[in-house]
Structure 1
Amino acid sequence: MTLSGRDAYRDELTRLAADDGSIVCLEADLGGKGHPFQAAHPERFFNLGIAEGAMVDMAAGLAAGGYKPFASTFAPFAALRAAESLKLTLGYLSAGVTVMAPYAGVSGAWFGTTHHCLEDLAILRSVPGVTIAAPYGEAEMRAVVRAAVRSGTPHYIRTGRNAAYDSIDWPGEQPPLVNWEFRAGPEAVCLVSVGEEGTRLAMEARRAAPGTAHAHLLRLDHAHLSAAAAELARHHTRVRRRRGAPGSGRGRRGARAADASLRGHVGERGPELALPGRRPRGGHGLTRPRPARGARGRGQGVLRGAGGLRGGRRRLSRRPGRREPPVPDHARHAPRTTHDTHHVRTPCALTTRLQEYAPCISS
């Protein structure tokens, strides 16, 4: 029977630990009563409870002592709650610690947003020297665990919850840099997939559209992705982007127009953030907005990248030419607070009216 990713990890690590006494398993209250590693090697199994940062710090100490620690916890708690410990352990110390992160993405959706993790790839890819893997299926997971044991270098492995898949076959012992599930000509559309759900969807899409190429990537850190991109470029000469839903009428011309529009907002000095109702202009970050037609009046504050607040009470008048109501003497020199019914000055220099919400704020 095919095992899920996290069950395959536990089984493979337990099997490898029988021949390697330096392998240590750490869990953050995820082991349960039937953890195979705990049953086979209780003296090398540690359940640290919901103390993810302490678990990673302990793994760093074990690695410094010559052990090969594998620490497992939910992806949001590994990448977010223990982010500083991960940065210091994997990046600064380059300790040979492997972090196993199930429940990545939205695989634990029914637990709520506290257990979702869409940020772990961005966080871990910013830490230098970490090998990041997102296996698809039992065979890939076992291969990644074996490679982490042999290398003794920092690893981050993300997987789902209980979904079980059969990995895409590959020649040789180790998965290749780019695992081609199906090859096609250089002008054909090529789907590139990573992880469990992305690969499953890509395989379904390829079966629905025969002739489409499909390349699966296992490792997602900068070094492996750069090499994979070079290999993909050697096989496929064109990259086609599809924007909009099928049948929406936006074909190749729409994609080119969207690309041109995107390039127009990204210059040598970096991308510009265009807000609704505001026309983007050159320069860094946020620029002076132009109010949308018919939008004068409430909420017309000015947001600038570094310039703070511009305009004042007259700029925020209800209608052009109408004067503001007089300010009482006792409030003329009083500092602005959240109870002010005219406007609030926040640290980001965004000015807005709170007349409608004043009763709620006061309560």
Structure 2
Amino acid sequence: MRRLLALSSAVLLLAGVTVPANAHRQLRVPGAEYQQLAQLDDLTTTGTVASGHTNPADYVGLTHSGLPQQSGVPGLQIDGYFPDTSHTNTNHGWNHDAQFVIRLPRRWNGGLVVSGSPGVRAQYANDRAISDYVLSLGYAYAATDKGNTGAAFYTDGVRPGDAIVEWNLRTTQLARAARATVAQHYGRPAREVIAAGISNGGYLVRWQLENHPELYTRGVDLEGTLWTAAGPNLFTYLPQAIKGYENHDQGAIVAAGFDPRSDFVWDYHYTVYWKLTQRIYAAELDPAYTGTEADYDYARRPEAHQAVARIALTGNIRKPLVTIHGTYDSLLPISQDSDVYAEMAEHTGLHTYQRVEAGNHVDGLVDTYPDRLVPLVPYLQRAIRTPS
């Protein structure tokens, strides 16, 4: 009988854990001020759009229409928030920041994926790019809004840089809480915890593996934002690109670090991203600045250097990391971002770098230029599934 039980346990570990539908009754997310639990027939966006357990506005434009759609993953979803004093996130009508979502599939493969939102989006931003895919593989999934959202995220905090500092703290908070929640729900700890993210979410992955490697087994970073106090960073190339565009000087844009072959998407990026990004990040990291976006000179802004130092990356990752970046990125040019971070992290022996020819910053543009751009989210998903 004892041998039979041992064999049954081994089969369970190989095949994954199946959790009874009512196993959530005593489940509490550690540290949460408020939580709502829902047993769902489908945790992917195929089901959650209809049931109201996601917000498509959070992830619009981040994936291309050809990305495969997963479905049919039953399980438990927990929506809630941690204590916070800011109110930029309006999801659920809560008007409360530090919102999170945790999804626990009924059939669990023993893993957990933790993610922070890209850009200044809220907690459902990675639902199509990451959550749907990893749930279909049996991973549990957790995501945070980073503690503040939207184009006015910089209004959170007191000191320059406080809002972005909170992004890192909230990701750490969620990782700890999600690990504990997974252990409660499934009766054992996760065997693998993967940090995964896009853009600002990729920055979070890098920062977490540098500062809290004990929480993760590995990370996957798609085009993470690079912040270094001495540069490069957004402030060292966006103003030059903006001025070049406004002066009809393509050479200045190329000199700022952008691939000249990506010029067909520069109109879009100037209109949608460049000026707004420069403006709101200057408001966060250099609020005393009152000039135009094109005239910003980071070299002459010591206050900004001090604020960026608070959030800067070092490259000293202490768990394996895969970084993926497209050569046509027209928001975070690869030459000023991941090429540099790869050099910073090379000494660790833990960094794997994939440069993708003709990949842009957002896959939504692939639908507009299907013959000129390559989608990057499939590379991200493959790296999550297959350790390097």
Q: More relative contact order in 1 or in 2 (CA 8 Å, sep 6+)? A: 2
Structure showing greater radius of gyration is 1
